[in-house]
Structure 1
Amino acid sequence: MSGPLLKVDNLRVSFPSPDGPTEVVKGVSFAMGRERLGIVGESGSGKSLTGRAILRLIRPPGRVTADRIAFDGTELTGLSGRKMRAIRGARISMVMQDPKFSLNPVMTMGDQIAEALTVHGARMSRAKLRSRVLEMLEKVRINDPERVMQMYPHEVSGGMGQRVMIAMMLIPEPDLLIADEPTSALDVSVEAQVMDLINDLIVQNGMGLILISHDLDLVARYCDHVLVMNAGEVVESFDAVNMAAAQHPYTKGLLAAAPRMNETREFLPVLDRSAWEGT
């Protein structure tokens, strides 16, 4: 492949308000190959909307504009709904924050994973389809996949539900995975297991990853490059190994506010927005 896997130029998302359209994503631009890109920022910084806008998942009255959103050389902004659906899920997949709200409560886990293949036109026998689903459940390290295939979302833990979501998104063998806070609903003990799993599958399959998170340490551990967003804008970007050398006051404030296991503090530092707002 020549050129970047994904190139985004001047992406903007706005919503109507009593005072007119309000921009919540303001001119985001970046390019990436088959690498691991982290997008970090506080809640409300626009990072999740950026991921959804790339996949054209922002519904009216939201409005998305961009000079360019090109995936593997194909411009996405002008594609028909049918052609976009052929890319969404098949070549670009997205893992949402909480499986409780993403999985269909009236379908078994096995049927939902199988649907991720059949909805994109996969033609295979029931036996072959079942075999593929079992294989994918094993890849995401689920014990007793035969039993899990028959279970419904309310019957599994949050960690297992997220593994099923990952299996569902990866079974079509996409080129890019967008993971939106994939561990936010999980216990700390499960978080590392799920992130190790995502990372291993990304590396094994030679895929690109966009990891959306508020956790700077998590992004530093699993990503190659980092975009820092604040109030809808990218304020800084750098290689993950250089996170400690971040220059923007907002990034420095996020790093200083992160709690550490090896220290005791009565209060966490507060972000001083006057250090960058209005500059």
Structure 2
Amino acid sequence: MRAYQIENILYAGVVGDALGVPVEFEKRDSYYIDSMTTGTWEQPAGSWSDDTSFTLPLIENLMTNKSYDDLMQKFVNYMFHNEYTPNGVAFGIGNTCAKALRNWSVNHYPALECGDPSVEANGNGALMRLAPLAIHLANEKDISKRLDLEREYTSLTHRHPRSIVASYIYLEIIHDLLNGCSLRSSLDNLPNRLTQALQGRFDELKELSYFEAMFQPDFATTLRKEIKSSGYVVDTLLASTWSVLNSTSIDGAVILAVNLGEDTDTIASITATLASCENLSDHINDDWKSQLQNKPLLDKFIKPFAKKEASEK
């Protein structure tokens, strides 16, 4: 991968996030979005949410090879001190992420035990930040090593096996796309690969069934009305994948995703990421990108990370 391609992947995710922020929680078909605007959180147009504010510390962590404790401290700096934000204000942080950060900063849990392991804690708060990890692992051929890191980075905030398996699926799809596979080909082959890799990990293996719809050959033809767009990690992953399968460009996928309603920022961000990984020769809408808030802060993390990862591939 070239540095500009990595930049585009990461910026696509931020753009999707910012497009979705104004209509988060809105009912499907009660609006139509194809430009930066204001809305739900009363933030300036182009403002990005916790999706990006959790992603930037991860980028910094991967660049410096720092510990999980160091990353948790960066997350805490975001939540309590408004660092890594577009306009100096942290907003929209999910309950599961907030609980994990309190477990680390107040209750002094070990970093890898901070995530909530309960079945009720299967939101998309880990999934939304993990794309840089997949880029970092793009040349790692050992799936066991990839899965170990994917599990650990997820567990910082989400420890239920369903959330962990969602991260496996999302990041392994990105791994496939960055190594030349199409999304459809990845979906065809991934279940068997994960089933083999997870032998002996029955708590995770049984969770694969919750995602089986996205692996069906006719998943792309699922009717829009049957696609759920909530913050539940299964819904988010299926909605994002469906949006990419039903689009021919990054911009088209993002518009389709952001107009599904409900958890619009995360679904549009993940959709944009997947679409840009599959379409490495395409790029996110320049007009949307130019309207992002606090571009210097984004550049501070994204550009050196892209350069470093490109030089090491």
Shorter-chain TM band: 0.3 to 0.5
Structure with more helix by fraction: 2
Give the structure-1-normalised TM-score: 0.34
Work out which structure has the larger RCO, using CA pairs closer than 8 Å and 6 or more positions apart in sequence. 2
Give the structure-2-normalised TM-score: 0.31
